């Protein structure tokens, strides 16, 4: 299958909070981050469907990080791929 991503993915582990209507608040961790999205490691988030809109916020920093809107675009056995909605 050809690679469809347009931006470079950077391996990075950081704590995040993902909010969904179906699951509420889910604490998870990133595995990769790019300009366009992130891969989030989480068994709970695997229950979502592609197309689900969520919000995501990095945690554990001295100042509050921005809350970003994102769409679930991929679901794997390890977690979910999100595309940021800018």
Enumerate helices (H) and strands (E) in the chain, giving the number of each: 0, 7
Q: In the structure, what pLDDT confidence band is assigned to residue 3 with cuts at 50, 70 and 90? A: low
Query: Is pLDDT at 39 greater than 60 in this prediction?
Result: yes
pLDDT tens, residue by residue, 8-29: 889 999 999 999 999 999 999 9
CA-CA distances (angstroms) from residue 81 to 24, 57, 61, 70? 18, 15, 23, 10
Closest CA to 56 of 23, 82, 86, 22: 82
What is the structure's pLDDT at 5? 56
């Amino acid at each position: 299958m050809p690679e469809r991503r347009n931006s470079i993915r950077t391996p990075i582990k950081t704590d995040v909070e993902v909010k969904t209507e179906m699951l509420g608040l889910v604490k998870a961790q990133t595995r990769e981050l790019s300009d366009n999205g992130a891969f989030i490691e989480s068994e709970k988030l695997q229950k979502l469907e592609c197309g689900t809109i969520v919000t995501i916020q990095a945690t554990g920093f001295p100042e509050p990080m921005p809350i970003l809107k994102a769409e679930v675009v991929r679901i794997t056995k390890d977690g979910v791929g999100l595309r940021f909605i800018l």
